[in-house]
Amino acid sequence: MNAGAAPGHNAPVNPAPDHDSTPDSTPDPAHVHADAAVLSGLAANPALPSELVDRLIEVAVADVDFVDDLAERADLSREQALALFARVPDSGVRLAGAGRLIAADVDPVAEPDTALALLDEGRGQPEWARVLVADPCFLRRERLAACKGLPLDVAETLAADPDVRVVDELALCTTSPEIAARLAAHPHAQVRRALAWNEAVPPAVLLALLAGEGHDDPPPDTDTSVDDPYEITVLHIQHAALRNPSTPTEAAVAFADHPSPMLRQALAQRPDLPPELGRRLAADPVPCVRADLAENPATTDDALMLVLAEDEDPDVRRHLAHNPNVPLDLLTRLVATTKIGAVLLPRIATATPAESEELARSRDSTVRMLLAVRRDLPAGIRDALATDPDAKVLKTIAPHPGLSEARLRAMVDRHGVRVLAKVASNPGASGALLEDLTRHRPPVHKAFREIARHPHATPQALLACLAVTDGRSAAAGHPALLPEAVVELLADEDHQVARAAASNPALPRTVMRQLIRRLMP
C-alpha cells in the first residue's frame, strides 16, 4: 500500500515530540477548517488542558455538539460540572449519568429531565416524584413510571394517567403488589400485557392474566393514533405470562396442547419446563416450538436430545447445538449436518482440558474451528490449532492471545489474504508485523481497520492506514500517530476523521490553544 498519500508521509518514524511544542512543518492552525467536528473532538480530547476545558464551558450554549463531549469527560471536576450545568442546563442528564451531579444540585421544577435521570439511578429525592407526576409532557411521566421505589400515591396517580403509554410503562416496571392488582383489571390490553411481562408481579395476578381475565374491547373515547394498542389480544397477554418465570409452573403446563403455536413456543422456552412436557413438545408440528425446546437449558434428557438431533428442520438442530447440556459427541455429529458458524457454543466453552484435546484432534475441521473460538485454550492446544491446515481454523485461532509472532507470520505466509485481518487483530501482534501487513499484496481492507485501532500500531503503519478509506478515523485518533500528521488531518474533508484527529492526545497543546482562540475568540 502506498503510504505516500498519507499526511506527514515524509516524517521519520521516531517518538513524538513533546506535546507542548509544534513541529516546524506543522501548518498554522489558523488555516484549519473550523467546524463542529473539530470542536467536538477537542472537547473529548483527554489531553486537553484544564484551562481550555474551562474556556469551552464558558462559551458553551445549548444544541452545540461539544457540550455532550464536555459532560462525558473523565477528568471533569465538580466545579467544571456545575459550571457547565449552570451554563447549559440541558447537559444535566449526561452529567447526572456520569455521576457528576447530586440531588442537592438539581431543582426538579427547573430541570425535570435531570431530576428524572437522578431518580432513575436511585440518587434523587423521593419527593421529586410528586412534582414530576404532574408534568404536562407524557414522555417525562412515562420515564417517571419506569423509576423504582415510587411513593404509592405517585404510582396510583400514574396508574390513572390519561395516556396509556405512561400506564404501560408503570405496568412493566412496578414492584408494588397493590398497583399490580389494580392494573390487572385495566381496560387496555396493552397495559395488561406489559404487566404480564413484569417478573415482580405476584403469582396470583399472573394467574388471572393467564386465565384471560379482563376486557378486550378498547374503552370509549380512545385515541387510536397511539400505535394501535388494542390490536393486542388475550393470546398476547397469555404469551407474556407464559414467558414470565414468576408464573407458576403448574398453570403454565396446562397450555401444552393449546392450539396457538405462539403459546406452545413460549412454554418451550420456560426454564422450569418439566421433562415429560419437553417430550410432548418435541413432537410439536411447528418447527419453531421444537427449536426453542432444543436450545432450552432445561432440556437435559439425552434421549430427547438424540431425537431433536435427527430433526428434519436444520433450525432445530442448530438450536440444539447451542444448548449448554448437549453431549459433546452429539454436538460433533450436529456440526457435520448443520451450519453453525464461527461462534462460541456453550458446551464447547465449558469443555474440560481433556475434552478440548479430543476436539482439537477431530478430523472434522469445523469442530476444530469451533474449539478455536475459545480465547482461554491451553498453550499446547492453541499452538497446535495455529498450525492447522484448514484456513477457517487459522482465521478463528489467529486472534487468540499468546500466539508468537513466528506463528502469526507463518499463518500469513501459508494463507495470505484469508487470514490477514484476523492476524492483524491479535492483541500480541508487534508493530513490525503490523507494518508488514500494511504492505501485503494484494491489500486487505479489513486488515487496515484492525491495524488502525491496534495498540501496537506504529506511526508508519498508521500512515499506511490513512492512505486508504478503511480505518482512517481510527488511525486519525491513534495516539501513536505523528503530531504533524494529526494536525494536517484537522482539515480533512471527512468530518469523522477531523473529529478523531482533534480528539487525539498526540495533538500538540499549542495547536489546541490556537484552535480554541480562533474558533472561540
Mean pLDDT, the chain, as a whole number? 90
Asked whether the beta carbons of 479 and 505 are under 8 A apart, the reply is: yes
pTM of the model: 0.83
The answer to the question of residue 294 being in a domain is no
The reported pLDDT for the residue numbered 11 is: 34
* Cell output for 78: 465538580
Indicate whether 478 belongs to any domain: yes
What is the dihedral angle through the alpha carbons of 454, 455, 459, 462, rounded to the nearest 10 degrees? 20
Asked if residue 417 belongs to a domain, the reply is yes
Q: Would you say residue 133 lies in a domain?
A: no
pLDDT in tens, 38-74: 999 999 999 999 999 999 999 998 878 899 999 999 9
- In a domain, residue 215? The reply is no
pLDDT, mean of residues 145-151: 94
**Average pLDDT for 315-326:** 97
Q: Is residue 443 part of a domain?
A: yes
Torsion, Cα 113 117 119 121, to 10 degrees, reads: 180
Q: What is the pLDDT of residue 387?
A: 95
Q: Based on the structure, what is the number of domains in the chain?
A: 1
Q: What long-range pairs does 400-407 form, CB within 8 A, spacing at least 24?
A: 400/372, 400/375, 400/426, 401/375, 401/426, 401/427, 401/428, 402/428, 403/428, 405/429, 405/430, 405/433, 407/383
What is the arithmetic mean of pLDDT over 360-378?
96
In a domain, residue 361? The reply is no
Q: Which domain holds residue 445?
A: 398-487+504-511
- Mind giving me the DSSP string for 400-430? -TT--HHHHHHHHHHHGGGTHHHHHT-TT--
Angle at 481 between CA 478 and CA 483, to 5 degrees: 120
Residues 6+ apart with CB under 8 A from 308: 282, 290, 293, 294, 299, 316, 317, 320
Overall average pLDDT of the 238-263 stretch: 96
**431 in any annotated domain:** yes
Q: What's the pLDDT score for residue 9?
A: 36
